[in-house]
Every structure is written in C-alpha cells, then in structure tokens.
Structure 1
C-alpha cells in the first residue's frame, strides 16, 4: 500500500500562492502578501517565514494603506528623476514601490494608498499620497 504525503515542494492549495503563481484577475489592483500560519508574521514575496522559518504561508489581500518609511530619488536609467520608496503597509509587511508626485516631495511618515499593484514599466506597486503633508518651514 502506497501513501502519498504532501511535501514542501508541492504546497497545499491556499499556501504561498501569489509568490509562485500569477495573481488572480480579481487581485489585479491589490497587493497580495503572505502571513505565516505558525507565528502570524506578515511578509511580502517570501517562500519561508523570516521569523520562524515556517513554510505554511497563507496568501492574504492588503487593504492598500501604508506609511512611507524611506524614500530615495533615483536619476539612473530613467529619463526623469523618480522616487523609490519603502512602504510599511498597515498589515505589517514592507514593500518597495513608487509614490506618485514630485520625487523630492515624498518623505518618511507620509501616509499613502495603493494606486496600482503593478507599474507597467517596473512591475512595482505605485502609491499616491493620502494627505497633503504638513511641512513646517523654518
């Protein structure tokens, strides 16, 4: 009698989808991320949990709201300056993307909302500012 066991090479349905498989059409303008079934850590595009090394990762959909943690202006390989930002999403994971607006006008602490999940050129998420940031001029 032969028994078939599920291995990490063939994850069960619902685990780690979105990392290895294309996103479903309904999630076209959403960020899909993983949450570890063992410790609850949220992460973006991982095969193993960075905290407990667990491989049982549930795919979840982000609400699309986050806070800019770091932003840099890039002048290389582009006709105009653009920003590259690290955005901490409300669910607890960090994603690299672009925030629309003047590159020098994006700062740490700015609140953003997802505009599109995939920039057509770079394939990264694109965000827009939620609030007009208050800047004290001194």
Structure 2
C-alpha cells in the first residue's frame, strides 16, 4: 500500500506491527509499538518484553526525549561520530545520533527528532533542544 504522506521508513515500521491507521502528521516521525495488554511502549519488537503479548498497536512518537548514554565512535567511519541512547517521552529507548559537537553531548541533555532515518546509518538523528549551561571549574 502506498501513501504519499508516509515515508518508506514509516511504511516499513507500520507493516511489521499490522495496519497503519494513524492520522496524517508531519513527515518525519518515529513509529513505535504499545502493548494492548500492559501498555508498555517499545521500539521494533514482535512481542512485548514485559508480558510477552503479541497484540501491539503502532503509535507515532512526539520526537522529544532525553539522552541516557552517549559515546564517541572512531571505528568504520572517516570521522568520529557519536552514538547515543535516547529515551523518548513515550517511555521507549532508541539508538541514534545527536547532532552537535561531540564533546558537548551529555547524559541528561534534552533532544528532539531532526530526521527519522539517517541516509547512511538508517538511525534516527536528534538535535539538542537547548544548549545547556555548563560551568567549567
């Protein structure tokens, strides 16, 4: 099924969890699943990790979250890049990249979705919501 307002990334995520009956919204979004039995939010799963339920509905994330862990990777890339675990407001964690200076990204920073799918790595790309004030002592 082709829908012009849904990107390829969104179609693929919707097909794995059943029919995609979401209201039209902005083009860039992360789709996740929520268990109908216990309400647990998860990212790209076939079964609920809490109750093992298979009745998962697809929802669209608001795209805001908090960096839980970040690291700098120097392997298999021409330049250093960061890899971060971001906990989104809906309660699930996704691996992605945060734009900005590598030394300026820390756990606890608030981020928002910039691009749902990086063209090279296929991971979500986030940007810092506000530049935190850090005193260097």
SS for the counterpart of 2:14 is: coil
Q: 2:14 aligns with which of 13, 17, 23?
A: 17
Q: Which residue of 1 aligns with 2:53?
A: 54
Unaligned stretches of 5+ residues in structure 2: 1-12
Distance 1:130 1:70, change over 3 A: same
Cα deviation 1:73-96 (Å, max 9, x = unaligned): 000011111000000000000000
Q: TM-score, normalised by structure 2?
A: 0.82
Identify the residue that residue 32 of structure 1 maps to in structure 2: 31
Task: Deviation per CA, 1:44-70: give whole Å up to 9, x if none.
Answer: 000000000000000000000000000
Q: Which blocks of at least 5 consecutive residues in structure 1 are unaligned?
A: 1-15
Q: CA deviation at 1:103?
A: 1.5
Deviates more, 1:48-57 or 1:102-111: 102-111
Per-residue Cα deviation, 1:17-47 (whole angstroms, up to 9, x for no partner) = 35368x8996641000000000000000000
SS in 2 for 1:17: helix
In 2: Cα distance, 1:19 partner to 1:95 partner: 17
